[in-house]
């Protein structure tokens, strides 16, 4: 291979790698469910088919873009009501219905990109969006205190979590019984000190406290 050909190939590889890096999107993630996700078999059996059909998912973009639109610093959240316990392998939770809440700091192009991003990450779970709302958003993950996060989406969503400790082992056989509802780079189960949705379009509000029903993590796409 001549020097010129080698140099041309090297430039192409560098350009391709740079393009991939520039298209990468990453940030923090919080999820809550209306059923314990970190639990023992006995507790899970007591909740399945009765609860667990509601969820809140939220992404805060630290860097990157989607569909060519920069989303750095913006947040999008989804409140979901499914047809059954999410994660139950013996029940079909679909169709699920969702309300998307997008950062009011986003311009129209960014809001559209946030919706597209959330639907891509949420897949079938966010396939039926009943309403999109713009609201002030705040999602903060404390990476020094594992499992600690705070989410507020206008007057509609409030989530506060903390890490799991020894006092949260109620039966001694707890495991991460349900996986997160979206692909993540890293995730850990957490206690939802507050998990609340008060909003339109889903036909139900919910609020719970102190359940082992949350995930806190990071995403890279």
Q: What is the pLDDT of residues 31-59, one digit of tens each?
A: 999 999 988 675 665 665 667 799 999 99
What is this structure's pTM? 0.88
Neighbours of 207 (CB within 10 A): 11
Neighbours of 198 (CB within 10 A): 13
What value does the mean pLDDT take over residues 189-207? 98
Within 13 Å, how many C-alpha atoms sit on residue 160's CB side? 4
Q: Which two structure tokens, joined as six digits, stand for 95?
A: 């169709």
Within 13 Å, how many C-alpha atoms sit on residue 178's CB side? 28
Q: What is the pLDDT of residues 91-121, one digit of tens each?
A: 899 999 999 999 999 999 999 999 999 999 9
Q: Where are the beta strands (DSSP E) in the chain?
A: 26-33, 38-39, 54-63, 65-66, 69-70, 75-81, 97-103, 129-135, 137-142, 148-153, 157-163, 175-176, 186-197, 206-208, 211-220
Query: Per-residue confidence at 3, pLDDT binned at 50, 70, 90?
Result: very low
CA–CA–CA angle 215, 216, 221 (5° rounding): 105
């Amino acid at each position: 291979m001549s020097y010129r050909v080698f140099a041309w190939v090297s430039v192409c590889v560098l350009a391709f790698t740079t393009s991939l890096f520039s298209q990468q999107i990453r940030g923090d993630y919080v999820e809550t469910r209306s059923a314990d996700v970190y639990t023992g078999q006995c507790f899970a059996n007591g909740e399945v088919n009765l609860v667990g059909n509601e969820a809140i998912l939220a992404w805060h973009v630290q860097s990157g873009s989607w569909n060519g639109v920069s989303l750095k610093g913006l947040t999008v959240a989804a409140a979901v009501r499914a047809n059954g316990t999410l994660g139950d392998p013996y029940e079909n939770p679909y169709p699920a219905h969702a309300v998307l809440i997008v950062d009011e700091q986003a311009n129209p192009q960014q809001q559209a990109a946030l919706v597209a991003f959330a639907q891509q990450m949420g897949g079938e779970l966010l396939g039926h969006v009943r309403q999109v709302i713009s609201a002030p958003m705040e999602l903060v993950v404390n990476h020094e205190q594992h499992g600690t996060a705070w989410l507020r989406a206008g007057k509609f969503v409030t989530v506060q979590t903390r890490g799991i400790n020894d006092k949260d082992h109620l039966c001694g056989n707890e495991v991460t019984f349900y996986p997160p509802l979206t692909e993540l780079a890293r995730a850990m189960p957490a206690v939802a000190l507050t998990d609340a949705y008060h909003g339109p379009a889903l036909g139900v509000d919910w609020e719970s406290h102190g359940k082992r029903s949350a995930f806190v993590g990071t995403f890279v796409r």
